[in-house]
Structure 1
Amino acid sequence: MLTTRRDMCRALIRRPASGGRPGWWCECVARTTDGDGDGEVWTVRVRMGAADTPERALVWMRLAVRVLLSALDPEDVERTFRWLDHGQWEAVMRLRAGEPYVFVAASGSTRVEWSARPVLFLPLLPRRG
């Protein structure tokens, strides 16, 4: 865990030596029960994307949240508007520090998670032959 400003600066400056490109992987995942009462949970990846910076990862998350905003439960709609208005600083700081960030809301029995996490994008090898 990064506790001091110095630790945060070191984490931001550190670059991988493997030739990979640092970035952030963004996902929107929906989890719901099937309604039969057996507790089986269905998971669907609704949307995925890549971002070059923490700020772009957050823009991706904000746009994806807005797409489903009208379908959320009323109490989550209010909380989501607060997050869209004021929750960005915490998210950007966590992403810059190399930590994943998740925002969760519900629509009935469906739980929707929007997330961004740091990854290392590896270059593809050229085809031979």
Structure 2
Amino acid sequence: MRRPLRTAWRCEVTVDGLLVRAEPATTPTQALIWMRVSVRTLLYGFDAEDRDRTFRWLDHGQWEAVIRLRAGEPYAYTARAGGRVVDWSARPVRALPVATVTAIPCRGNPRCGTGRTR
């Protein structure tokens, strides 16, 4: 029986279209928290207009992000910093289950390749 794939979120920061950082999140709330922390890290480097807009977004504007992420939709936020365009995004992805591996005892097994001979 196959288990259904679970939904996770991929969070990214790009600068001028180049990927700078990517992080996984297990819930939409975790994705938004990551995005907010990352945005605040660069906040004072933003151009004045984007800094004011970002303060408003951090205060009460991120509710659109909450609604969209919980609905399984992607969300992105863009700001300019010193002539560069910085994008934060979170999008749902299907996470493959991790297979479990059982270790095989090596004692007396010639396939182990330990390099030791008796």
Residue 114 in structure 1 maps to residue 88 in structure 2: yes
1:28 pairs with one of 5, 13, 28: 13
Is there any run of 5+ residues in structure 2 with no aligned partner, and where? 105-118
Is there any run of 5+ residues in structure 1 with no aligned partner, and where? 1-16, 32-42
Structure 1 segments, 4+ long, off by >3 Å, are 124-129
Cα-to-partner distance string for 1:71-97 (whole Å, 9 max, x where unaligned): 110110000000000112111100111
Q: Give the distance between the partners of 2:56 and 2:21, measured in 1 at CA.
A: 23
TM-score normalised over the length of structure 1? 0.71
Larger Rg: 2
1:48 pairs with one of 7, 10, 22: 22
| Letter matched to residue 55 of structure 1 | T
2:70 pairs with one of 79, 91, 96: 96
TM-score normalised over the length of structure 2? 0.77
Kindly report the root-mean-square deviation, in angstroms, between the aligned alpha carbons of the 2 structures: 1.8
1:19/1:122 contact within 8 Å kept: no
Q: Partner residue of 2:40?
A: 66
Q: Give the distance between the partners of 1:52 and 1:126, measured in 2 at CA.
A: 20
| Letter matched to residue 53 of structure 2 | R
Q: Give the distance between the partners of 2:45 and 2:85, measured in 1 at CA.
A: 11
1:80 pairs with one of 50, 54, 60: 54
Matched length: 102
